A and B are shown apart, each in its own frame.
Chain A
Amino acid sequence: MSGSVPQVLLVGCPNVGKSVLFWALTGRYATVSNYPGTTVEILRGRARISGNIVDVIDTPGLYGWPPTTPDERAAAQALTTPVPRRIIVQVVTVAGLGRMLALTHWLKLRGESLVLVVNMLDEAERAGVAVDLDLLSRELAIPVVGCAAITGRGLDQLRRVLGSLVAAQPAAGPAPDSGYSAGVAMARGRDLAGRAVSRGRVREEGVDRWLLHPVWGPVVAVSVFYVVCILIVGNLVAGTAVDRLDALWSLYVDPAVSLTVSRLPGHVRALVTGEFGLVSMGLRYSLVIILPIVTGFFLSFSLLEDAGYLPRLAVVVDRVLRPAGLSGLAAIPLSLGLGCGTMATVFTRVLPDERERVATTLLLALVVPCSAQLGVITALLAERPGALALWAGTVGLVAVVAALGTRWIPGTVSPLLLELPPVRAPRMWPVVSKVRARVGWYVREVVPVLLAVCLGLWALEELGLLGLMQRGLSQVLALACLPSEVAPALLLGFIRRDYGAAGLYRISDQLGTGELAVACILLTLSFPCVAQVAVMVRERGVSTGLAIMAAVLATALIVTVVVGRLVIGEAGW
């Protein structure tokens, strides 16, 4: 910890612009930390305020006190952790000011050194709403600063206020919040906001008339999905960009690395450039193939997130997912799974209930193919429409049955209750910072897993165990009337799902149409890639993670054996 460096803690509801303020205060010196165990990132950075270095901390959204969701608890924990020299900056907006002021009362009761920032003043003014900042400051007896952090307005004043507080900062610790009543605080906040805010005209529902329309809403949702998943990530990134990068890698990196290690002993050479080499497979897959794809997805989703579309998407699909015991919010990780299942498993954190998180993790592992795998499978089956139909039909059917089956997972799903932030054009800073944080997460958390897997496979290969595993798998495949040539491809599929499909691609000439379709079904349904399994176990815990894997494997084997016997065994396709 940083000892006597004063701390500035940003708190407030979601979507009030805390993060923009964070980046505005800390600039390029900000670093991103991903605290284990917390549900969302807490950002930490340094800023210079009136010549003093201060720690600036950005917290996840907190609606009020007491916190009610897991996300809020992370912010609440940061608030209640005692820090000797701390200034709390509560960020609010004119919209919803009354309820936000309830938290202000709680913070004041605790005797925190407090500044109130009324952010997004520009948006309020555009909506014809004015706020009396002096009245707020007088009544609350704390400094109140009006800002539009995105344009930089009010930031100098905020720095001055913080500077004087840092200079004057006494070491009085916070007091317990005795006598706090959420109801009273809410009523007082509403009363004060009622006097401080004057509205010119009533805001129209605007673009939501289309985005939430019973007919046009789903049309927009499907179009957005098509543009993001098929056009941007599928065609542009997975198709064009990855192919070119991969070609460059084969042309320059592979020969250079081979040359470098050419004098080393065979075992070491295999570790670097062999079939499962750290460079030839580990780095190549994580940097050249997956990184561009997940970056494309991160960028698309961050844009949609900042535009305020994701909550609308959740509203539109809520009725479709309810029968499966899921809420509309589950659509966010599920559609993300078509990009990268590993990342999507992490994103199940957006769901409020553990039950829904488990159900979504299961569906991601069982029926949602990632973009890389989807690309290779569709290419593999494109020339055999019958096989494509059999594959899509079987996976689709399993998806519906599994979704309905997740109803038996114990627990409840909360009814929909979702704030709809204003729809606006995405802003560059928040999008850049989110993409940066998420890509950083991928590089730190997923790349090491892939490298570790390469190391493990290399060891298995050196010990001669890989062949043994393949022979074991062949026995199982025989049950589904699949030839043993499919075994190596499937084993690779566990490492990287698309790698398995690529393995099938090489031997596709030797396979019948039915065999190809059944192999693709097994590949899609069976184990997700090893990085996803690692994240599943980390996010859901060992017992739930292993239970999900067992359910996935059992379903995959039963479906494959049944379909294989019918199609290959009986029909001889």
Chain B
Amino acid sequence: MSRGVPLTVVACGRPVVVCRVDGGVSSGRLAALGVVPGAEVTKLRDLPVPVIRIEDTDIAVDRSVVRRIYVRRQEVSGNKEK
């Protein structure tokens, strides 16, 4: 299992899977919104602030927080699209 890359460097519109979320003031709030390891997220935009979608919910997140979310590309076997 790779250590993943920060969500900031991933292209918008591509679903990725969260590997880990670095601690910090926002990790509790992020977890409450479902951003925990194993969750599938999609970054929708970078400007004016990053917006990520998780489970059909859009969340605007400060760039400093997005930098702490590490993700890997979704494996084909884990793809639940119907």
Contacts and interface: CB of A to CB of B under 8 A. Distances in A.
Contacts of A383: none
A283 interface: no
Interface stretch (A32-40, A182-190, A487-495): A182-190
B51 A95 contact: no
B51 A420 contact: yes
Contacts of B22: none
Contacts of B51: 205, 208, 212, 315, 420
A94 B29 contact: no
A505 interface: no
B61 to A, nearest CB: 5
B80 interface: yes
Given A99-B55, A205-B45, A214-B48, A418 B60 contact: yes
A212 B34 contact: no
A198 B29 contact: no
Given A186-B36, A319-B48, A208 B62 contact: no
B82 A127 contact: no
A129 B61 contact: no
A98 B32 CA distance: 11
A417 B62 contact: yes
B80 A194 contact: yes
A193 B39 CA distance: 12
Interface residues of A, number: 41
B25 A414 contact: yes
Interface of A is mostly: mixed
B30 interface: yes
Interface string A87-121: 00000001111110000000000000000000000
B26 interface: yes
Interface in A159-200: 182-183, 186-187, 190, 193-194, 198-199
Contacts of A199: 56, 81-82
30 contacts: A63-B29, A95-B57, A96-B33, A96-B34, A96-B54, A96-B55, A96-B56, A129-B56, A183-B36, A186-B34, A190-B55, A194-B80, A208-B44, A208-B51, A212-B45, A212-B60, A214-B48, A217-B48, A314-B60, A315-B48, A318-B49, A412-B25, A415-B61, A416-B49, A416-B61, A416-B62, A416-B65, A417-B30, A417-B65, A418-B61
